[in-house]
Amino acid sequence: MSTDSLTTPAVEVVAEADPGARLAALRAPLGRWDVSVGPLGYLAGERQRLDGLTWQHFDVRRLGATIGAEILGVDLTAPRPAPVVAELRQALLDYKVIFFRDQPLSAAQHVAFAKQFGELEIHPFIPSNPDHPELVRFAKSADVGGYENGWHSDVSWRETPSMGAILHALEVPPTGGDTLFSDMYAAYDSLDESTRAEVDAREAVHDFMLAFSGQVPGDRREAMRAQYPQVAHPVIRTHEETGRKLVYVNRFFVDHIVGLEPAASDALINRLADTADQIEHQCRWQWEPHSVAFWDNRAVQHYACSDYWPSVRVMERASVVGGRPA
């Protein structure tokens, strides 16, 4: 090999600074595409607030910029004193979703832990643990597919949707099956002022039939509709404990936005639902057997990856009754 072939070609470097230097905390359009790049400056305050938190009864390992923390040093299989439960509830409010590893909960222990945070609901359209109806059972396999891979907030079709949900992994695939969570406070913070003015006072109609019509026998539909009528919730919800505003629209359960023509309603639902897609709003949890995720169902949306078929994935979820969105 000649030395000539190893010679670095002459290149004139005309840049005097990093490409991001002129942007600082500003977003900028990416050429002709309908996307922007650059720092999401509205995340800074919340990220810095979370950086300063300390806890008396456990340690945490943060996952996302403004969402998600693994709780270290708490055994969910053992009795938990009231101060520990209170601090876990505060951590849930702060991090929006909290995670635990190596928690071999029995079904009874799972229910007992969940009940420390409130009354539990029973889901009418998903099978439950045969001995504990409070536990929804998601048993996926080659014969049962995972169709939860879209951003949603659980049971927003209820008049009083869940406050929170506690999901326990019983059997997980060797790869895949992660769950992602998106910070819907950050979603609201991402909206420009004109969009906020457009949506702040609007309501959206939520309907269980959009996702669960196939679960209701024809001769039971009238009775189920009477028990679970369509319900209108604010498009922008105010969290009753934190006082923060958040986007409360999802494609699984929202039928339409009140007062808009169908095309305009669909366009606005899409635009708002897209805010969950922003990766900087998210954290991702990789399951192991006996991992637990506890999310604030008011503050986040979640997405269960369906990338493991035909492997087996078995989870059980307890959901804590919440209040009416306002």
Residue 82: give its domain's CATH number: 3.60.130.10
Task: Report DSSP state, residue 197.
Answer: H
Token duo for residue 130:
């045969």
pLDDT tens sequence across 8-28:
677 777 666 666 666 566 788
The question of whether 154 is a catalytic residue gets the answer: yes
Q: What is the mean pLDDT of residues 147-169?
A: 97
Residue 136 lies in a domain: yes
Sign for the CA dihedral angle at 39, 41, 47, 51 comes to: positive
Task: Report DSSP state, residue 10.
Answer: P
Residue pair 134/118 in contact by the 8 Å Cβ criterion: no
Token duo for residue 276:
């969950």
| 158, 239, 302, 313: the active-site residue | 302
The question of whether 317 is a catalytic residue gets the answer: yes
Residue 13 lies in a domain: no
- Comparing CA positions, the residue from 111, 173, 174, 183 lying closest to residue 146 is 173
pTM, two decimal places: 0.92
Residue 64 lies in a domain: yes
Q: What percent of the chain has pLDDT over 90?
A: 87
Residue 315 burial by Cβ neighbours in a 10 Å radius (0-12, 13-18, 19+): buried
In order of 27, 265, 285, the CA distances from 188 in angstroms are: 16, 18, 23
Instruction: State the Cα–Cα distance between residues 322 and 160, nearest whole angstrom.
Output: 6
Instruction: State the Cα–Cα distance between residues 163 and 92, nearest whole angstrom.
Output: 11
| 94, 154, 207, 296: the active-site residue | 154
Please compute Rg for the chain using Cα positions.
22
Average pLDDT of every residue of the chain: 94
Q: What is the mean pLDDT of residues 76-97?
A: 97
Residue 266 lies in a domain: yes
Residue 26 lies in a domain: no
Instruction: State the Cα–Cα distance between residues 144 and 279, nearest whole angstrom.
Output: 29
Residue 153 burial by Cβ neighbours in a 10 Å radius (0-12, 13-18, 19+): buried
| 152, 158, 168, 298: the active-site residue | 152
Of 37-41, 73-77, 158-162, where does mean pLDDT reach its minimum? 37-41
Q: What is the mean pLDDT of residues 302-324?
A: 98
Domain that holds residue 248: 41-321
Of 23-27, 56-60, 166-170, 269-273, where does mean pLDDT reach its minimum? 23-27
Report how many domains make up the chain: 1
Residue 35 lies in a domain: no
The question of whether 302 is a catalytic residue gets the answer: yes
